[in-house]
Amino acid sequence: MATHKQAEKRHRQSIARAKRNSYYEATLRSLVKNARAALQGGAQGVKATAGDSVKKAISWIDHVAVKGIIPKQRASRLKSRLESQLARR
């Protein structure tokens, strides 16, 4: 365990950051999962819903990538795959 004041502070900060980052990651996974589920729905009326889901997921992906929680290349790959699946519908 840390014995210096600065080391204790850094430990507290790292715990807070890890908690915050896990929230962003979990939300990202949920949004991407929901978008993929909407894209798998076969009905024609679902296309608008799928577009909204993909748009929301892409917005969150950009938000998380700018914060540095996920690498920019991973964000680009996720967005590209979602957009190509939406275009194929």
> In this predicted model, what pLDDT tens digit does every residue of 21-49 receive, in sequence order?
999 999 999 999 999 999 988 555 566 68
Give 40-80 pLDDT, tens digit per residue.
885 555 666 899 999 999 999 999 999 999 999 999 999 99
Residue 13 is part of which domain span?
5-88
What is the CATH number for 12?
Answer: 1.20.58.110
Per the confidence metrics, is the pTM higher than 0.75? Answer: yes
Query: How many C-beta atoms surround the C-beta of residue 66 within 10 A?
Result: 11
Residue 49 has a pLDDT of 87
pLDDT score of 86 more than 80: yes
Residue 89 has a pLDDT of 79
CA distances from 39 to 46, 59, 66 (A): 8, 17, 26
Domain count, the chain: 1
